[in-house]
Amino acid sequence: MNKKLTTSLVASLLIATSNLYSEELSQITVVSATKSEQSIKDVTSDVDVITKEEIEERHFTNVSDALKTISGVSIVSNGGVGQLDSLFVRGIDSKRILILIDGIRYNEPAGLSGAPLAQLNIENIEQIEVVKGAQSGIWGADASGGVINIITSKAKAGFHGNIGMEAGSYNTKKLYGSVSNKNKLGYLKFDASRISTDGISSYEPNGSKWKDLEYERDGYSNNTYNIAGGVYLNDSDELGLTFKKIGSEYDYDSSTKDRDDKLTKIKHYFKSANYIHKDDSYKLKLNAQQSKFDRNQDNSIYKSLVNEFSVQGDYSYRKSDAIILGLDKQNFENIDSKDKYNTQAIFVSNTNTFDKFIINETLRYDDNSKFDDKFTGKIGIKYNINNDMAVSSNYGTAYNAPTLGNLNYTPSLSPETTKSFDFNFEYKDFKITYFENKIKDMIRYVPNSYPNTRYENLTGESTFKGYEVSYIKNIFENILLGFNYTHLSAKDNKGNDLPRRAKNEFNASVDYYGIKNTHINLNSSYIGKRYDDAEKTKETGNYTIWNGVINYEIKRNITTYVKVDNIFNKYYQTVYNYATPGRSAYIGLKVSF
């Protein structure tokens, strides 16, 4: 196991925090950068990947927990597991980040916070791709700050399965498993996962501890099911179907210990049907998919729906060049208010390789039934100086339309427009990136407007810029050291710092492989000074959290682990007046067959 663990963890950490040598990079493929499968070394965009190996060896609590390890990505939470998570990629919040599950949209059209990220379990995921910077030239609206594509595990040749469990602090229990079969006729895979926890009290006055105040706990449960099947019509043609359901319930505080908790019930459904034809140089994809969101909160029911249909053709010409042409149709509906709009789009992406140069251009035209039509695009270039060194740069334009939830409160809102630029330098296992994003007419919540909630467009440009540094190295034969650092300046149209964004963030990880069949990981995260309000009166940052995990292989297909989060029981808040877990420990077991 020692060799297996070393190989998989080194590969996953290198991808997540730095670049790989070219022979290692060629083994990793991504689909989110151009909507087509590519080797990560041939992509000009700034892409990070969290692999299946890293997920299984770090034992993240959920998808949010995994994303926090990537440079430029931060998450703040309104309490413990299952409570509202707010995502920031280079300071741009989740309303401007497109979240996908196997290419299906997870952004809630009637919501106000983008995708409900906290409801995504981490089990049965193959990899998570994070594409930073404006991506509307391929993906359209919602992708002005980037794209996160969560790719679930696929059936492999033969019959396979696994079952796993975890138990620990706050009466937390996890149970998950999968079974699959694949042969020359087709494939079928089913997986399921469940998590339940008594949790902590979400509400906690800043400076106090919820346990000392005897506040009640806010529990959470989540059941996720996924089934995928396909038939091979012949050597060139394939039909596939997928269905996914996420069902969860969580308590949230009404603010004091004397009042009852309120219960939120969530049901999300995702369906897709696709046809694929491929030959040596051409690939045709037809896809229909639906995302449905049901949320019952405070005895009010919120329902929304996204229907999509797409046609895409990929054509390879010459030896290393490719062009992609696609048509998209999307319908967004707030079922409760009957509000709806649709978009129709055409896009093209072209990639050329000239010796050491790679150039990619994308262009997209969106016809929106509610707003003006938009052209967006991106150009990226990469120069491989030698096998160890490369430079790359990307410039893109994007737009972000108000959600149906925003428009329900303020019908007069206009779309935002974004300009995005980054420059990357890579040498072996070292990488540094400069980025700058400018959002014109940025949509924001009008402070203190509740209960008459309102949103507004900020006249002028809001600017998000900074740099990221990452490095990883085997400092001794059995010790791997890695870190990443992000410096961020996030300003509104008047030059004021935007809340909930730290100027400095630092992640570090040490892995030890010197004991037979054992892997030990110690990791930490430092969050610099930040404020929860524009007036800078509510500080939440300036803390360091340490976590650790020990993996042990009992037999070839049986592994166990112990994990401790917040080892030193650090008191901190990511959102003012909302609690975070103290020291917590978990033990788990997984059997594969």
Number of domains in the chain: 1
Tens of pLDDT, residues 439-473? 999 999 988 777 788 999 999 999 999 999 999 99
Over 424-459, what HEC string results? EEEECCEEEEEEEEEEECCEEECCCCCCCCCEEECC
| Rounded mean pLDDT, 4-14 | 40
Assign residue 25 a region (left: φ > 0; alpha: ψ between -120 and 50; beta: otherwise).
alpha
Which string of DSSP letters, residue by residue, matches 378-432?
Answer: EEEEEEE-SSSEEEEEEEEEEEEPPPHHHHHH-TT---EEEEEEEEEEEETTEEE
Report the pLDDT value the prediction gives residue 10, as an integer from 0 to 100: 42
pLDDT of residue 2: 38
The structure tokens listed for 85 are 């998570």
Helix, strand, coil content of the chain in percent (nearest 5): 10, 55, 35
Residue of 499 and 215 predicted with greater confidence:
499
Can you tell me the mean pLDDT for 31-42? 90
Task: Provide the mean pLDDT of the chain.
Answer: 91
Segment 237-294, tens digit of pLDDT: 999 999 999 999 998 765 555 555 678 999 999 999 999 999 989 999 999 999 999 9
Q: What is the mean pLDDT of residues 56-63?
A: 95
Amino acid 15: pLDDT: 40
Burial class of 551 by CB neighbour count within 10 A (0 to 12, 13 to 18, 19+): buried
| Domain span including residue 422 | 2-592
pLDDT above 90 coverage of the chain, percent: 80
Q: What is the pLDDT of residue 13?
A: 42
Cβ density class 461-491: b for 16+ within 10 Å, e for less: bbbbbbbbbbbbeeeeeeebebbbbbbbebb
Beta bridge pairs of residue 13: none
Report the C-alpha gap between 148 and 89 in whole angstroms.
10
Query: Pick from 324, 328, 327: which is nearest to 351 by CA?
Result: 324
| Residue 370: DSSP 8-state | S
d(CA 30, CA 39): 6
Residue 435, pLDDT above cutoff 70: yes
pLDDT of residue 18: 38
Predicted pLDDT of residue 259: 54
User: At 113, is the pLDDT very low, low, confident or very high (cuts 50, 70, 90)?
Assistant: confident
Residue 73 clears pLDDT 60, i.e. is over it: yes
Q: 548 and 514 in contact (C-beta within 8 Å)?
A: no
**Per-residue pLDDT tens over the stretch 500-558:** 999 999 999 999 999 999 999 999 999 999 999 989 999 999 999 999 999 999 999 99
Kindly report the CATH number assigned to the domain that includes residue 432: 2.40.170.20
User: Hey, what are 73's tokens?
Assistant: 């990505």
